[in-house]
Amino acid sequence: MKEQLIGIGSGGLRAAIHPLGAELWSLTDADGREWMTDADPRWWTGHAPLLFPFVGRSRGDAYRWEGREYPMPQHGFARRREFALVERAEDSAIFRLEADGKTRAVYPFDFRLDMAFAVEGETLRMTATVTNRGEADMPFSFGYHPAFAWPLPHGGAVEEHRIVFEKGEPAPIRKVGDEPGLIARESAASPVDGDTLAPTYAMFEGDALIWDRLESRSLTWGVPGHRRLKIGFPDTPWLGLWQKPGAHYLCVEPWAGMADLVGFTGDVWEKQGIMRLAPGAARGFRMDVALVE
């Protein structure tokens, strides 16, 4: 599958994207060092799936709209669909997914999802644009799910890596509850010390850590004093961190949407984080990933 990768870049950073899911597979610096997951199949073969039209799991793997139930896999179907390459330059590319018969059978809305990638110096800018091309209001959510290397290639042990948020994050967080993939209704104490999280494998034994009262819209990932990643997500109010304990990655997942709560039985418009997109309207979601000192 690597032979299908679409490469873009500058002198300082190169990205490789797979048309299946418009998924970012690789991010390498000027010295060829990889900043993303090794996709070791013992843990998880994903790289950076796009979460659309819903983030997370719907209870019973189905949702309800206008009195009818529709099947929906966890994190939606975009990550399993081939995107068309509609624009390409040396340092940028745009991929597109549009509604067809298969998508309308499970999601009866006429959508367009454009995924744009552009490299500027040592920064990768990603922008997803969701457009409602139909005649009815469209319910949807969107999220990013990139898996960055842990440890990163510029030195430092696993236990020295830190998430440093833009702001202090004292608010309680959410965790997965006793229904697989669904969010517990009760909150948990924040593991953040001021603005800093020192992640451990043990933190993820119960699945993801989820911030739904997030103050920050950017963070850094890596070892203080070494080259790190700065990750910006101005358009997504929630964040998930996830890994399979012991794996060589940490997923930093900006979300506009979230899995159903444990016991949820409501209509699609009652799902937490669902956005309403009017006919003819579009909404964009940006994520920037930069190498910083």
Give per-residue pLDDT as tens, 146-181: 999 999 998 899 999 999 999 999 999 999 999 999
Helix, strand, coil abundance in the chain, percent, nearest 5: 10, 45, 45
Question: How far apart are the two ends of the chain, measured CA to CA in Å?
Answer: 33
Please give the pLDDT value at position 233: 98
State how far the alpha carbon of 291 is from the alpha carbons of 8, 37, 98, 127, 131, in Å: 16, 16, 33, 18, 31
Q: Which two tokens stand for residue 45?
A: 């073969």
Domain total in the chain: 1
Give per-residue pLDDT as tens, 173-183: 999 999 999 99
Average pLDDT over residues 229-257: 97
- % the chain with pLDDT above 90: 98
Domain limits for position 117:
2-292
pLDDT at residue 291 greater than cutoff 90: yes
Please give the pLDDT value at position 1: 60
Give per-residue pLDDT as tens, 189-211: 999 999 999 999 999 999 999 99
pTM: 0.97
Concatenating the DSSP letter of every residue in 87-100 gives: EEETTEEEEEEE--
Give per-residue pLDDT as tens, 269-290: 999 999 999 999 999 999 999 9
Please give the pLDDT value at position 155: 80
> Which one-letter amino acid corresponds to residue 275?
M
Mean pLDDT over all residues of the chain? 97
pLDDT at residue 2 greater than cutoff 90: no
- % the chain with pLDDT above 70: 99
What gap in Å lies between CA 21 and CA 235, rounded to an integer? 21
Give per-residue pLDDT as tens, 35-70: 999 999 999 999 999 999 999 999 999 999 999 999
Cβ–Cβ under 8 Å, residues 276 and 137: yes
CATH of the domain at 42: 2.70.98.10
Concatenating the DSSP letter of every residue in 243-287 gives: --TT-SEEEEEEEES-PPBTT----GGGSTT-EEE-TT-EEEEEE
Give per-residue pLDDT as tens, 94-135: 999 999 999 999 999 999 999 999 999 999 999 999 999 999
Cβ count near 179 (within 10 Å): 17
Query: How does residue 93 score in pLDDT terms, banded at 50, 70 and 90?
Result: very high
pLDDT at residue 84 greater than cutoff 90: yes
